Every structure is written in C-alpha cells, then in structure tokens.
Amino acid sequence: MGNKSGILLTGFVIGIVSLLLTKFGNPPNMGVCIACFLRDTVGGLGLHKAKLVQYIRPEVLGIVLGAFGVSLGTKEFRATGGSNRIIRFILGFFMMIGMLIFLGCPLRVALRLGAGDLNALVGFAGLFAGVGAGTFFLKSGFSLGKASAQPKWTGFILPALSFIVLALLIIRPSFIYFSLNGPGSMHAPVLLSLAAGLIIGILAQRSRFCMAGGIRDLILFRNINLILGFLVIILVTLAGSFAMGNFKLGFTAQPIAHTEALWNFLGLGLAGWSAALLGGCPLRHLVLTGQGNTDSSITVLGLLAGAAAAHNFALAASAKGVPEYGKYAVITGLVIVLAVSLTAYFKTATVEGRETHASN
Amino acid sequence: MQVIDARGLSCPEPVLLTKKIIDLHTHALFKVLVDEMAACENIAALAKNLGWSVSHDKTGDHIEITLQK
C-alpha cells in the first residue's frame, strides 16, 4: 500500500522530472513512459526495426539501477523467484501489447491527462476496469504461486544487463540503432535522463510506488495511498503544462495519441488486468527487478518481447490509429488473460489449502 | 496459534490472506510470515486501520508479524 508521504514525494518528483525531461528533449507528454521507453530500447538494440522508435532510454535502465543500489544499501536486495515464470512472461508480453495499443503505460496516462489529452481519460477507464477484473480474480483466490530464495547472482543478472545496455548507449557501437526522426529521435541529454531514472528508481523502491496497485488497493481495501501518487502526477503535470503553455484540452491532435476510444479502453484494460495478476505496473516490475526479484525480471523480459512483437508484426498503434492486427492481438490477449484467471479461479479450493496452516 | 505462511507470495496476496482471517472474527491473535518488507508494511497498515495492534520480528530470512485485538 506504500507509505503516504513517500508516495506523495515520488509522485511529485516523477511529475517534475517528466516536465523537465520533456523540456530538454523527450517527446511531448512522454517525460517518462515505461512502455514507450522499453519499446524504444528494444528498437535501439535492433530487436525490432521500426525506424521511428529506436533509442536506448537511460530512464528505464536508471530505474532498475537506482532500485538495485538502494535495495543493496537497505539490505532489501534478495534474489527470489521461481513462481510460474512462463505465465508471467506471457502476461508481461500482453501487458505491453495493450499499452502499445493505447500508446503509453499507466504513468503516461497521468502525464497525458495532466496535459489535457482526454483520450487518456478513456484509457484510465479501461485501466480501472482491467485492474478491477484482475482484482476480482485475486480476491477469488488467484495466485501465481510462491516464489522462493534463489542463488544471489541470479538477482544481479538484469541489473548487470541494464548496466551493459547503458554502456552500449555511451560507446555507440555500430549495431546500435538511433532514430533520426519521430519520437525515438527526441530525447533529453543522456546524463539528465539517467539521473532522472536513478532518482525515480530510488524513490519508487522506498515508497513502493505502483500505478496499478493504486487502483487495486482502492478497490480491495478502500486505501487511497498509492492512487494519491497518480493524482499528484496529474496535478504537477497540469500546473507545469499551464506554466509552459502546453496545456490543450480535447481528444484530437494530441501528441503521440490516437482517438479510437474502444481500443484505448481495451488496450489499457488488457494492460491493467495483466498488471493486477502480476502484482504491479511496469514501473513496479522494473523496481522489483532491481531488488533481485527474478519473477519480475521474467515479466520485464515479457514486456521487451511484447514490444519487439508489437513493432515487428505491425500491431502497435500510432497517431494514425490502431492497425487491424493490433486489434486481433488485444482480443487474443484478453482471451488469454481471462483463461489464465479462470484456471486459478476454478482451483480456488487447492489455493485455500495452501494458504494457512495451524499449529497448537 | 494460527500462523499464515505468506512467504514468497506476491503483492497483494499476503494482505488479502491476512484480511480473510481478520474478517472471519475467529482469532484475536495470529501470526503472519512474510519475506518482504513491503508485504510487512502493507499488512501492518491494513491491520492498524482496523484497530489491531501489530508487531514484527525479523528472524532469519523472513519476517514474523504478530497481530492482536
């Protein structure tokens, strides 16, 4: 549920940092977007060939490394994992497909809302419905099972990989791709982006910040702590957009967005549902990856694979709208997430068996 | 004493399991085992909100939370 002051601070800093990054070169309404930036990074590594969205984003790498550093310091770093890895991979994959149909992660929903993009309101409704569906199954006993302690070095794998990818950005070997046009070509200076990522990683690790968790906790426990972070980001972005003269209320001609309401709703519905079953939004999984959770590492690999597929097979939306195959992919994802939810739902009795044991 | 083993479960399952016991009204004292500080904080927050007293003890690689009303 997070601690309230930590959440407020994290939300405030994410809002400010996002405005700053946009001012110094990141794409509009995209100061920090986990989905977009993982997708760009996948493109930067040449794992998809969409020329407009290829750039290794230091923000997402910084988040993992920031969480890694702080969790080592607070001794919270623990290598754990081993619960239902393939299902996590698949849910991560479709979480990314859903987000790339909407064009943004839950964090970007707040950034887009703050800047007046009403398509994000439709997206938020979808996200709420999706997290609500996932929460229903969680309440009914859905579980991806128990993680257990893993050899310590396995927790270092993704933080080390993040460091290597960051090094590739700085060394710029010939096999790394850099967009010359489009969102991928728009970026703040590397050091600023990296610093932003590190700060967000540190704060989000300490406060347990999570966008999907905010909606889930509100539904489950009537607890508003986490969703306050969401609200703070919207308010900071709103104030910043007004101050910088970027505020534009409406549905049409919004930056890096489309107006297909049904698909904005279903895309984030799919993402929210997956996030609820996975125990967190993409940002939270980057943070957990940094603190040694290898189940979250698998989820992040699923997100990366989803991003590669979305652009290799022309599933991802663009400002022009949602391609036909993207719509099929969302429907497929919803069917799969429902199937995953139902298998656990009908196994509730077994789940009940493992949840308690009595002594004395 | 009732002991809930919520070790290794991901968010928010440890809290949900705790809430289930609280809602049953059958125990005035029980323990929950978790292995992450985040889960411990969440359980403490929920239980305190519902008027339970909460204490926790870190033993080895897990945290033992005692809830009492």
Looking at every residue in chain A, the average pLDDT score rounds to 94
d(CA A247, CA A46): 35
Tell how many helices (H) and how many strands (E) occur in chain A.
15, 3
Positive or negative, the CA dihedral A122, A126, A132, A136 is positive
- Chain segment A82-128, per-residue pLDDT in tens: 999 999 999 999 999 999 999 999 999 999 999 999 999 999 999 99
- Split at pLDDT 50, 70, 90, the class of A2 is low
d(CA A45, CA A169): 9
Give yes or no for residue A349 having a pLDDT over 50: no
Beta bridge pairs of residue A80: A149, A293
- Chain segment A69-86, per-residue pLDDT in tens: 999 999 999 999 999 999
Give yes or no for residue A355 having a pLDDT over 60: no
d(CA A128, CA A84): 25
Looking at every residue in chain B, the average pLDDT score rounds to 89
d(CA A62, CA A200): 8
SS3 at position A55: coil
User: Hey, what are A94's tokens?
Assistant: 């479709």
Interface residues of chain B, partner chain A, Cβ below 8 Å:
1-13, 15-17, 19-21, 35-38, 41-42, 45-46, 49, 61
d(CA B5, CA A148): 13
Beta bridge pairs of residue A318: A321
The helix or strand, by DSSP H or E, that contains position B58, with its residue range, turns out to be strand B53-59
Mutual angle of helices B13-24 and A119-139, in 10-degree steps:
60
Give yes or no for residue A346 having a pLDDT over 90: no
- Split at pLDDT 50, 70, 90, the class of A348 is low
Nearest-by-Cβ selection for A148 from B4, B8, B46:
B8
Work out the burial of residue A279: count CB atoms within 10 Å of its CB; fewer than 13 is exposed, 13-18 middle, 19 or more buried: buried
In degrees, to the nearest 5, what angle opens at C-alpha B34 toward C-alphas B28 and B35? 160
**pLDDT computed for residue B24 by the predictor:** 86
- How many of the other CB atoms lie within 10 Å of CB of A327? 18
- Chain segment A226-268, per-residue pLDDT in tens: 999 999 999 999 999 999 999 999 999 999 999 999 999 999 9
d(CA A113, CA A264): 13
Give yes or no for residue B67 having a pLDDT over 50: yes
d(CA A23, CA A246): 11
Contacts of A223 in chain B (CB under 8 A): 45-46, 49
User: Do the bridges between strand A356-358 and strand B2-5 make them parallel or antiparallel, or are there none, so unpaired?
Assistant: antiparallel
Contacts of B62 in chain A (CB under 8 A): none
Give yes or no for residue B50 having a pLDDT over 90: no
Positive or negative, the CA dihedral A287, A50, A14, A135 is negative
Alpha-carbon radius of gyration of chain B: 11
Give yes or no for residue A350 having a pLDDT over 60: no
Q: What count of Cα atoms within 13 Å lies in the side-chain half-sphere of residue A13?
A: 18
Choose from A135, A146, A222, A284 for mutation: most chain B CBs within 10 A: A146
**pLDDT computed for residue A343 by the predictor:** 86
ipTM reported for the complex, 2 dp = 0.90
CB distance A127 to A99 below 8 Å: no
Instruction: State whether A208 and B41 contact (CB < 8 Å).
Output: yes
Instruction: State whether A143 and B9 contact (CB < 8 Å).
Output: yes
- How many of the other CB atoms lie within 10 Å of CB of B20? 15
- Split at pLDDT 50, 70, 90, the class of A354 is very low
Q: Which of A277, A262, A224 is nearest to A95 (CA)?
A: A277
- Chain segment A265-293, per-residue pLDDT in tens: 999 999 999 999 999 999 999 999 999 99
Beta bridge pairs of residue B65: B32, B56
Give yes or no for residue A359 having a pLDDT over 60: no
Cα of first residue to Cα of last residue in chain A, in angstroms, is 32
**pLDDT computed for residue A3 by the predictor:** 77
Contacts of A139 in chain B (CB under 8 A): 16
Nearest-by-Cβ selection for A279 from B8, B10, B45:
B10
Q: With a CB-CB cutoff of 8 Å, which residues 197-236 of chain A face chain B?
A: 208, 210, 213, 216-217, 220-221, 223, 225
CB distance A282 to A199 below 8 Å: no
How far is C-alpha A14 from the geometric centre of its chain's CA atoms? 14
pLDDT above 70 covers a percentage of chain A that reads 96
Beta bridge pairs of residue A202: none
Searching chain B, which residue's CA lies closest to the CA of residue A142?
A: B13
**pLDDT computed for residue A1 by the predictor:** 58
Across the range A193-201, mean pLDDT stands at: 98
Read off the pTM. Answer: 0.94
- Split at pLDDT 50, 70, 90, the class of A320 is very high
**pLDDT computed for residue A87 by the predictor:** 96
Give yes or no for residue A186 having a pLDDT over 80: yes
d(CA A313, CA A117): 28
